[in-house]
Chains A and B, each alone.
Chain A
Amino acid sequence: DTGVSQDPRHKITKRGQNVTFRCDPISEHNRLYWYRQTLGQGPEFLTYFQNEAQLEKSRLLSDRFSAERPKGSFSTLEIQRTEQGDSAMYLCASSSAGGRTEAFFGQGTRLTVV
């Protein structure tokens, strides 16, 4: 297993377009997190899955953002009608169930909205 992988690594899109990012977690991990990080800031929580169930979604997340995790495996994060303020690094992390809660992060997808 090579860890958490995210695709694409970079995405440039025009304002108003939709974008979708993919995250493949470590195979035995049932917990999956999405975060957004802007320059000089810490990762900001977006949403959390346990298996296929989306259990937590940040109140800061607008309706333009949606995430899925079909069959509890890979996850996708879609942003509709992108705005310049959506430009950021989008990070995915996974962790196993039980007491081992440390998260393993992917390299992130850097989104630039022009």
Chain B
Amino acid sequence: SQQGEEDPQALSIQEGENATMNCSYKTSINNLQWYRQNSGRGLVHLILIRSNEREKHSGRLRVTLDTSKKSSSLLITASRAADTASYFCATHSYSGAGSYQLTFGKGTKLSVIP
């Protein structure tokens, strides 16, 4: 099952523009993470935001988290053609008996046009 739902499903922008992707989830979380996947490859971790944090920055990435709305956004500033990839949010939550789940959404496919 997949908890996160990214929006939009696909996004096409010009190089230099900013890209914003949104993620909504359903249950309580320990943290929320964003990953990037180039076509046919494994996922690469980008940034993690804890449930008690509201905003986090890493280079050209800015992530916000609103636990009251169960939503997060990922902003990529000054996009580059190399940012073209699929982006996934993943929620980390406790599922009982010492077990944790890292549950992914369906992703946003970002295309940055040179």
Contacts and interface: CB of A to CB of B under 8 A. Distances in A.
Contacts of B31: 101
A60 B51 CA distance: 28
A101 B101 contact: no
Given A101-B30, A101-B31, A101-B48, A58 B1 contact: yes
A101 to B, nearest CB: 5
A45 B92 CA distance: 12
A89 B38 CA distance: 14
B101 A42 contact: no
Interface in A33-67: 33, 35, 40-45, 48, 50, 55-56, 58, 60
A31 B101 CA distance: 11
Interface in B1-40: 1-2, 4, 30-31, 33, 35, 40
A107 B41 CA distance: 5
Contacts, number: 72
Contacts of B41: 107-108
Given A102-B48, A105-B43, A48 B104 contact: no
A114 interface: no
Interface residues of B, number: 29
B33 to A, nearest CB: 6
B45 A45 contact: no
B103 interface: yes
A25 interface: no
* Interface bin, chain A: 20 to 34
Given A101-B92, A106-B42, A42 B2 contact: yes
A48 B92 CA distance: 13
A111 interface: no
A24 to B, nearest CB: 13
Interface in B61-114: 88, 90, 92, 95, 97-107
15 contacts: A31-B100, A33-B102, A41-B2, A41-B107, A44-B1, A45-B1, A45-B104, A48-B100, A55-B97, A56-B100, A91-B42, A101-B30, A101-B33, A102-B33, A105-B42
